[in-house]
Structure 1
């Protein structure tokens, strides 16, 4: 009741008082609005600063790229193990694992073919066979660097995941399956991703067999602990190469009919990559004499 009385009493002071009070209230509202706008600007500036702080290679976000002057390719620079961070990332297309996965999903020579169950399969250098087999794959040296990123978190690097990678040898044969190498398990291996999202493999440049462009298969797992059977995989895809490195490699000895097979097909006519390969084409550096480095950013929705 006291509040009602004061309100009525103020009103009874006359028009001049009311106008003065309204002007004062309008001034206070404008001042408050200016303060809020200023606070919003400060907040936006802070957000922008945080975004800028996240730029660069190997971090938790991917917002910039730099040019590799030696190859004309986009990379973050640094050593051969450097990040391939660029301004955006997409979920890597899901592709068939093919007939020679060695992940426990099919059989070879009458028994389940599962290289993931072999002792020593978690390794970086995959050129030698393991678990009692002694074969060694030869060819032009190739380092494959997979950067695993989360497309649901601004391309943040994914640490502690696992990549199982496999491919054919220089003559187009797959260990565990192909005639002459059924007792071997080379060119197969698993690597955990580091804090920079990278999984690195030392291998050889794969040969080219009839009907397919040169390629590498890989599967993504949540960890090396779950990378024991195909049932646990999160994604299966394939990596391809630029034509100039294919041509250079297949001009060397030891690659059988790879040059002929490679000349008979292209990425646009390949049964896997003909629908698009922009997110699967490796960025290449190096040479036949020095060896090559293939980098690929692999996005998954983690």
Structure 2
């Protein structure tokens, strides 16, 4: 190597254009060349980084982006519209508990107002998550959900013989920001002619519950057979064992359309600690609600014994 080559001045690998001048005096063309050289290195590095990330992404063929994770209401369909049955207590057939102060409550095991009785049975937390299907199936915050069901003996408060002044196992909750309402209650029994169920109505808001004509959805929740078998082996549910043996989801006059699939609750828990049952409820306000308090002929309303919708004074519930 010659002395001249050894003493060649360079900057970032590029020889000075003017070997006898300082770096700051190399001129405009030298400066432009330096910038272009830097940009080429930068782009090459960025390309390598992208290629590296792409290579990493292919190591797991099952990896997905978080945005592709299924939404909690992803496969949700509109809840089937059902009858409110002969014992709604919403003013559509006799008494109206929704006009009484105190109906908005989470614990529905005891009567309020003039009533004093408390329903007995295996503890149950009843939870609905309401979705607004007319607006992209977002949680339906602010809607009011009225839920009611029979006792472990298969009787309904406000209608059953000796229960006319009681209003237990009935209550209203307002959906939170997640569309959730929750009730503390007891596991209902099974009466003759119907699969174990809970009735519920959805109203636009709390202020609208005093008129059943305002309802935007009326439906029923079904209980899984295996859980019913376990619960009905407990003391107090003796009548339910025989009644359940005589009915199926396929023969029930409400759930027979799809074997209860679209209205079947998801249950967790046990007898000792109580159960929790949950149901996702799609409500589409762009369609017409038609449940109300009427029942189709043949007992579709869920009257104990499978009778038709009563007229006149509410009959006693014989379980």
* TM-score, with structure 1 as normaliser: 0.71
Counterpart CA distance in 2 for 1:153 and 1:185 is 35
Find the residue that maps to 1:146 and give its secondary structure.
strand
Name the residue aligned to 2:90: 103
Relative to total residues, which structure has the larger strand share, 1 or 2?
A: 1
Find the residue that maps to 1:103 and give its secondary structure.
coil
Would the aligned equivalents of 1:114 and 1:229 in 2 still touch at CA under 8 Å? Answer: no
Would the aligned equivalents of 2:82 and 2:218 in 1 still touch at CA under 8 Å? Answer: yes
Of 103, 106, 115, which residue of structure 2 is paired with 1:124?
106
Counterpart CA distance in 2 for 1:86 and 1:142 is 24
Q: Does 1:293 align with 2:276?
A: yes
Of 256, 264, 276, which residue of structure 2 is paired with 1:281?
264
Name the residue aligned to 2:152: 170
Q: How many residues align?
A: 220
Would the aligned equivalents of 1:170 and 1:256 in 2 still touch at CA under 8 Å? Answer: no
Would the aligned equivalents of 2:73 and 2:131 in 1 still touch at CA under 8 Å? Answer: no
Counterpart CA distance in 2 for 1:190 and 1:294 is 17
Would the aligned equivalents of 2:125 and 2:183 in 1 still touch at CA under 8 Å? Answer: yes
Name the residue aligned to 2:249: 267
Name the residue aligned to 1:89: 76
Larger Rg: 2
Q: Does 1:160 align with 2:142?
A: yes
Name the residue aligned to 1:10: none
Gaps (5+ residues) in structure 2? Answer: 1-64, 286-319
Measured on the aligned residues, the alpha-carbon RMSD in Å equals 1.4
Q: Quote the offset at 1:151 in angstroms.
A: 1.9
Name the residue aligned to 1:221: 203
Find the residue that maps to 2:244 and give its secondary structure.
helix
Query: Which structure would you say has the larger RCO, counting Cα contacts within 8 Å and 6 or more residues apart?
Result: 2
Q: Quote the offset at 1:52 in angstroms.
A: 4.5
Q: Does 1:186 align with 2:173?
A: no
Name the residue aligned to 1:233: 215
What are the within-5 Å matches in structure 2 for residues 204-215 of structure 1? 204-215=186-197
Name the residue aligned to 1:68: none
Q: Any idea what the Cα deviations from partners look like across 1:244-283, whole Å, max 9, x if unmatched?
A: 1100010000124111101111111101100112220000
Of 143, 146, 149, which residue of structure 1 is paired with 2:125?
143
Gaps (5+ residues) in structure 1? Answer: 1-50, 56-62, 65-84, 108-112
